Each structure stands twice: as structure tokens, then as C-alpha cells.
Amino acid sequence: MTTALIILLVIVLASLIFDFINGFHDAANAIATTVATGALSLTAAVVLSGVCNFAGAMMGTEVAKFFVNGFVNDPQGLGQMMVLAALIGASIWNLLTWWWGLPSSSSHALIGGIAGAVVVGSGWGAFNWMALLKKPVLWLVLSPLLGFIVAFLAMIALYWIFRRARSSQVDRWSRLMQIASGAAFSVSHGFNDAQKVMGIITLGLLSYIGTVAATGQHTDLPSWFLPHETVVNGKASHSIPYWVMLACAIAIGLGTMAGGKRIIKTMGSKITRISPAQGLAAQTSGTATLFATGALGIPVSTTHCINAAVLGAGSAKRFSAVRWGVVANIMVAWVLTIPASAAIAALAYLILRHATGIA
């Protein structure tokens, strides 16, 4: 077994571990409001969410293709250690924010990890900064804003629809509908978040192909195991192998079932105490935002979307119902995610390169 193949296997394993971590780190996104309002028990909610995450992950690859073809100017010229360092940076930041109970973005942690490792390994010109600004950074602002507005309006609509109903009836029907909305949000979460790990594994495969080609060797891996290149509008585009889709879908589903009680507590009660109707409005709004952006190939944060939707639903009742001090702490984590994960990944790359002598 060659060194390049061993490193590839490490990248794949590390990616699936990251996907698993993403699942339990982001479990709260889909089920915190459902659990907080009593629509489902924690155990039932995580099982339902895990199954739906798997289903969503198998629905498309537009976001994954953007990760492969959008950020790095020459994916096949990417060093294997850069891909591994990007994963290490994102994973460490995810674990730190999970331990602190802060709902940060796994998506932006991975993007920051790629940026940090690529810049240190290949220089500023190797990373596509315009792609970073046009999609992740722009939608870092737009997706929470959209989720907040849609949830706010949805909550106002629900107040009007149920204006003559007794509060007990509203709560009962909202809890029932929350089960469906929580399942839908889990599908959209898998549809969006699992694709980013599909993209990083495919980058690992391309870096392996480039390493093998640079040494004049031939890969013994079967063609179905590797991404295929097509030219779209004069630009090379790489496909996502089916086995990558399946492996990532399984990993994120199992990770979600592992839960995330710390972040569930933050989202479900610390931001604002929500009613079943508010939970329904938040989940429905977050789902709509994620499906729309996922279909367009825009890598957004499910964490940002659902947090903003919870805020929107809570603010529809009164602004004072929101614990804005907790919100401020969460927003600090949002802002720090890309630079912090980039710094950790850059350091990880320098350590790996020094220890192994491999770029």
C-alpha cells in the first residue's frame, strides 16, 4: 500500500468522523424546538432526525460540487496534507464550541479549515476568495436574516389563523405539526450539511489522483471509486462518487442519533422560551431557507438558519422575550468560526508537514 493511498484512507476516515461530529453537533438544529415544546421526547426526536438526515443526504450534490470546484483553483493540485489539516481545524473548532454549548457552524468551520490550510500550503492565490465572499460570507448574513424574517411573518400568520382558538388547542395542534416540521428540517439539514463532507472527501480523492500522477504512477483504485471530470462552460467540474454520498449519509445520520444535549439546552430554552406554535414557525421557516439555498448550491449554516428562525418566532410575541445576552455570545461564535478554524488548520498543516515531510 502506497503512502498516498494510506493518507487518502486517513482523509476519508477523518471526513466521516467530522460528518459524525457534525451530526451530533447540529442535532439541536432539527430537534431542539421539538423537544423544548414537548412535541417529542429527546430519544424519539433524535432517532427520527437521524433517519431523515440520511434521506436528505441522498437527495443531491450541488453543494458538494461547489465545495469541490468553487473554493480551490486547482483541486487536483491540492496537497493531501492540506485536506487533512482542513479537517483537523474544522473538527477541533466544532468540538470546542460543542463543549462550550455554543451552536456554531460546522459548514463555516470546514470552509475556514480549507482556507487556512490552502493559504499556508500553496499561497493566497490558490484559494478562490471571490467564491468565499459571494456565497459563504454573503449568505452568512443573508440566510439568518431570511430565516428571521420568514419565521417572524410565519408566527404573525399563525397568531391570526388561531386567533379564535383556545391556547390548549393551539398547543396540541402545533405539537403534532412540529413532528412533521422537525422531520422536514432534518431532511433539509442532511441535504445541506452532509454534502459539504462529500465535497471534502472528493477533494481528498482529487489530491490523491494529483499526487499519484505527479510521481508517474497509476492508481489501482476502480473507476467507480474516483470522481469523474467534465467540462461545463469551459471550466472543469468533478462529480461526486456514489459511495461518498452513501457513506456521508450514514455518518451524519448516526451522528445525529448520538444527540447533542448541551446545544439543545442552549437553543431550546436559553435563547427564548418558545411555545409549540413558535417552534413550528421556526422549523418551517428554517426548512424553507435550507431547501432553497441547497438547491442553488449555496453552502449555508443550518445552525445560523434555525437560530435566527427561533429568534424571529420569539420576537413576534415581544422583543423582550428573547435573551439577547445569549444571542450576543452565539453571534461572537459565528463571527469567529471561519478565522478560528482557519488558524487551527494552518497550524495543523505546518505540524503535519514538519512531522511527515509531505505537502
Q: Which three cell numbers stand for residue 289?
A: 431557507
> What are the pLDDT digits (tens) for 196-231?
999 999 999 999 999 888 887 777 789 899 998 887
What is the pLDDT, as a whole number, of residue 30? 65
Q: Is 186 helix (H, G, I), strand (E, B) or coil?
A: helix
Contact 249, 54 (CB under 8 A): yes
* Lowest-confidence segment of 41-50, 93-102, 127-136, 322-331 by average pLDDT: 322-331
What is the pLDDT, as a whole number, of residue 87? 93
CA dist 173 → 165, 167, 180, 318 (Å): 11, 10, 11, 22
Contact 329, 65 (CB under 8 A): no
268: confidence class by pLDDT, cuts 50, 70, 90: very low
Phi and psi, residue 59, nearest 5°: -90, -15
> What are the pLDDT digits (tens) for 336-356?
888 999 999 999 999 999 998
Phi and psi, residue 358, nearest 5°: -110, 135
What is the pLDDT, as a whole number, of residue 271? 46
Higher pLDDT: 273 or 287? It is 287
What is the pLDDT, as a whole number, of residue 27? 63
Tell me the average pLDDT across 87-97. 88
Contact 28, 103 (CB under 8 A): yes
Contact 245, 58 (CB under 8 A): yes
321: confidence class by pLDDT, cuts 50, 70, 90: low
Tell me the average pLDDT across 250-273. 66
Most confident of 94-108, 232-246, 340-354: 340-354
Instruction: Please tell me the distance from the alpha carbon of residue 283 to that of residue 160, in angstroms, as a whole number.
Output: 19
What is the pLDDT, as a whole number, of residue 82? 95
Q: Is 357 helix (H, G, I), strand (E, B) or coil?
A: coil
Of 82, 141, 144, 139, the residue nearest 113 (C-alpha): 82
Instruction: Please tell me the distance from the alpha carbon of residue 235 to that of residue 248, in angstroms, as a whole number.
Output: 27
What is the pLDDT, as a whole number, of residue 274? 61
Tell me the average pLDDT across 311-332. 66
Share of the chain above pLDDT 70, in %: 85
Of 279, 43, 313, the residue nearest 177 (C-alpha): 279
Most confident of 93-102, 190-199, 261-270: 190-199
* Lowest-confidence segment of 39-48, 54-63, 69-78, 188-197 by average pLDDT: 39-48
3-state helix, strand, coil in the chain (%, to 5): 80, 5, 20
Higher pLDDT: 143 or 17? It is 17
Using the predicted structure, report yes or no on whether residue 185 has a pLDDT greater than 70. Answer: yes
Using the predicted structure, report yes or no on whether residue 100 has a pLDDT greater than 70. Answer: yes
